A and B are shown apart, each in its own frame.
Chain A
Amino acid sequence: MSTFGAEYSGLSYGSGNWRVLAELMTSTSRDLAGQGTGALAPSVQAAAEAFLTAWSGYADESSTIAIGFADAIDAQAVDYSTTDEGSGNRFTDLDGRLGPAR
């Protein structure tokens, strides 16, 4: 890689959106888990319950995925920030002056 860079505000925006998605999918998981199947004929209920249980789990997993993305972006922002700060210190310690002032 010859070039790289980041803007903190962009990373923050992306991370925030992932966390909103995570909340949406958590809510979806809860909704699906709370659905009853009593309105369906008994011969269908077991299949419906299996479906809802599975999909509640999938929605939970989606929430986890979204949080994973948000955390990774946040970590990336911290890494950039830490690296940039450390690098800054290195350059601050350099003395580029000539002569007696050095």
Chain B
Amino acid sequence: MTVTIDVPPSQPAEVVRPEGDPGGADTLAEALHTASGRYEEFSDETARIQWIGGWYGDAADAYREATAEAGEEHAAMARTVERVGRAVTAYADTLRDLLRTYEEQVDRKEALDARRSALIADINAATEATPDVVAALRERATELRDDYAELVTDHDDLQRRVREAEDLLRQSFQAGTSLDRALADDGGVPQSAQDALSRRGAPGSEATPEQVHDWWLGLSEAEREAVVSSYPELIGSADGLPASVRDDANRVVLDDDLATLGSKRDDGTLSPTEERVLANAEQARQALEDADAFEDPITGERPGGLLHLYDPGAFDGDGRVAIGVGDLDTADDVAIFTPGITTTMDDTTSYTGQMINLYEATRYNGDGSSVATLFWLGYDAPDAFYDPATATEGRAEDGGRRLADMVDGLRASRPDDPAHLTAIGHSYGSTTTSYAAGDFDLAADDVVLIGSPGAGPADHADDFSVGADNVYVGRDSRDIVAVLGDEGWVGKGPVGLGTDPSSDDFGATRFEAEDVDRADIRNWGDAHSSYLHHDSESLYNIGLIVDGHGDRVNVAEHSYDPWYDFARDPEWDREPSSGVQGESRTRENRMVP
């Protein structure tokens, strides 16, 4: 009896490699960014030499008129070549992704071909074709056919994405080539991107985060690529879009800044303002490299960094930035950290390091859920202790609104898969977080205030959107900033920024947060800045809260104010620990048994 087993052919015949070289494309993008910087310099310089000292009369008037015209046109040229440069940067990034997918498909095909060869060998070797043997061989053939079919589908998808990426870049070049297009307001922007942005719900049209999310879902993959490469600043700050999309867009702008301003520095044409922007960009780049290189302590894999917000020229050069560790789009537990006074983009690498600590601690003591942590400097933090803005709550109120909006955006980007979300505020950032939760309906699950000078508008934890049971407070008894808030029936006058949230009247859960190296007196050194240090009580407890287990924190007694004396802190005399399991260990620590 003859038995037929239908072995599928090897498919696709060839996994076609996407053409092009990302590194070479980056080089071309850099050249275009350099050209953009020079056109910009041309425009800026014409503004400077439009008025030549001591020269007046008809000739001088005519000169100024001609100069102004040249300046405007060169500014338009700078914007167009910048857009095309960004399109090339985005193409290089996309090409890298496509090449990774290609390599994966090559590996898959090799594995499938090996299975196919083994199947053929087993068929040829079968001397006794019992029904069971035949059924097993047929089942293997069927599975192989299905897997080949899946590979063919994925390969078709890869080739489609390759064509779309190439089409988009070609259209970008064409949209900026003729002089008319080069001088146009939308020079270098392909029609597909313009069409996509004109649809209802697009960012920048005062759409809600939910509408922006729906707008994004309605775009084709090609349109998505087009708007990311053509409008990266807009997409990079659009609440409601997936964090990975914002990251792609912001990295395009970051690369642009580094290349354009870097070449202006080489040309010696960098202004003081641009110098600050470049320094901020370099901070962001370093922080991203740190986040990208970080390895999860449990899996050993790299969860990756995210540039969630990037606006290096904002707030008079202090900059706005948000850098994440982990995948904000999928993480089970998300923590958003808001820093306090004196924080600028100069501090980005330092705070990103603390976000890595928080991620690590949460995973180390966690229940296995996935985690993402985000350093969010989306508001204008006061510049110094003596900055008049520090003594008022205006910046905190504005920041609270911005924080609540950003969280709304995160929520809208994951409507069917909400994360457990913890908002953490430090120092003045705790007052900012209090405004978000007290006045702007912060859509978090838990709130953590550390080193807090006061809870802003909230007199009681019940005033927060998350409810009193989900408000946690960490205060080192030596932290001088954290005793500024009002406490007891007398209060402390205008020095604080609302009620002390660690006091018994406030009604939050206070957790242990003493620094093992604490001094004998109150200070704003380590006592105020070590809440996210490894192997500290504070980081241990915050990690548990971020992981969704606030009920397991090591509770500390509240401070209280006896009517006859100053406020008392029961934590003052407690001996703190460091690196002790169940109290303060936050990572594998070879120094501690």
Using a CB–CB cutoff of 8 Å, the interface residues on chain A facing chain B are 1, 3-7, 9-11, 13-14, 17-18, 20-21, 24-25, 27-28, 31-32, 35-44, 47-48, 50-51, 54-55, 58-59, 62, 65-66, 69, 72-73, 76
Contact = CB atoms under 8 A, between A and B. Distances in A.
Interface in B18-44: 18-25, 27-28, 31, 34-35, 38-39, 41-42
A48 to B, nearest CB: 5
Given A35-B31, A54-B178, 14 more contacts: A4-B60, A5-B56, A7-B53, A11-B55, A14-B52, A21-B42, A40-B25, A41-B20, A41-B166, A43-B167, A51-B84, A51-B177, A69-B63, A73-B63
Contacts of A43: 166-167, 170
Contacts of A51: 84, 173-174, 176-177
Contacts of B41: 21, 24
A24 B56 CA distance: 28
A4 to B, nearest CB: 3
Most buried by B among A17, A41, A42: A41
B54 interface: yes
Contacts of B31: 31-32, 35
Point out which of A9, A31, A39, A72 has the most chain B C-beta atoms below 10 A from its C-beta.
Answer: A39
Interface string B278-293: 0000000000000000
B397 to A, nearest CB: 46
A55 B81 contact: yes
B42 A62 contact: yes
Chain A CB within 10 Å — which of B21, B38, B170, B173 has the most? B173
Nearest to A27: B38
Contact of B35 (A17, A31, A69, A76): A31
B129 interface: no
B170 A6 contact: no
A66 B41 CA distance: 13
A46 to B, nearest CB: 8
B125 interface: no
Contacts of A62: 39, 42, 74, 77
A76 B177 contact: no
A38 B24 contact: yes
B300 interface: no
Contacts of A5: 54-57
B45 interface: yes
B182 interface: yes
A20 B182 CA distance: 23
Q: What 9 A-B pairs have minimum CB-CB distances, sorted nearest first?
A: A39-B24, A4-B57, A7-B54, A47-B173, A39-B21, A41-B19, A51-B173, A10-B53, A14-B52
A59 B31 CA distance: 13
B177 A47 contact: yes
Interface string B162-198: 1000110110011011110010000000000000000
Nearest to A39: B24
A38 B24 CA distance: 8
27 contacts: A5-B55, A6-B54, A6-B57, A7-B55, A10-B53, A13-B52, A14-B52, A17-B45, A17-B48, A17-B49, A21-B42, A31-B31, A32-B35, A36-B28, A39-B22, A39-B28, A40-B25, A41-B19, A41-B162, A44-B166, A51-B173, A54-B177, A58-B179, A58-B182, A59-B38, A62-B39, A76-B59
B139 interface: no
A47 B174 contact: yes
Contacts of B27: 39
B267 interface: yes
A58 B36 CA distance: 12
B58 interface: yes
B55 A59 contact: no
B79 to A, nearest CB: 13
Contacts of B269: 24
A28 B35 contact: yes
A80 B292 CA distance: 63
Contact of A40 (B28, B48, B267): B28
A1 to B, nearest CB: 5
B66 interface: yes
A18 to B, nearest CB: 7
A37 B63 CA distance: 39
B142 interface: no
Contacts of B25: 39-40
Contacts of B166: 41, 43-44
Nearest to A22: B42
B70 interface: yes
B267 A24 contact: yes
B45 to A, nearest CB: 6
Nearest to B20: A41
Given A6-B55, A28-B34, A44-B173, A39 B77 contact: no
Nearest to B167: A43
Contacts of A40: 20, 24-25, 28, 91, 169
A94 B208 CA distance: 81
Interface in B56-79: 56-60, 63, 66-67, 70, 74, 77
A44 B178 CA distance: 17
B19 to A, nearest CB: 4
A72 to B, nearest CB: 7
A41 B18 contact: yes
Nearest to B35: A28
B28 A24 contact: no
B57 A47 contact: no
Contacts of A24: 38, 41-42, 267, 269
A36 B24 contact: yes
B148 to A, nearest CB: 27
Contact of A58 (B28, B63, B77): B77
Given A7-B55, A11-B55, A48 B173 contact: yes
Contacts of A58: 77, 179, 182
Nearest to B21: A39
Most-contacted residue by chain B among A20, A28, A62 (CB, 10 A): A28
Contacts of B84: 51
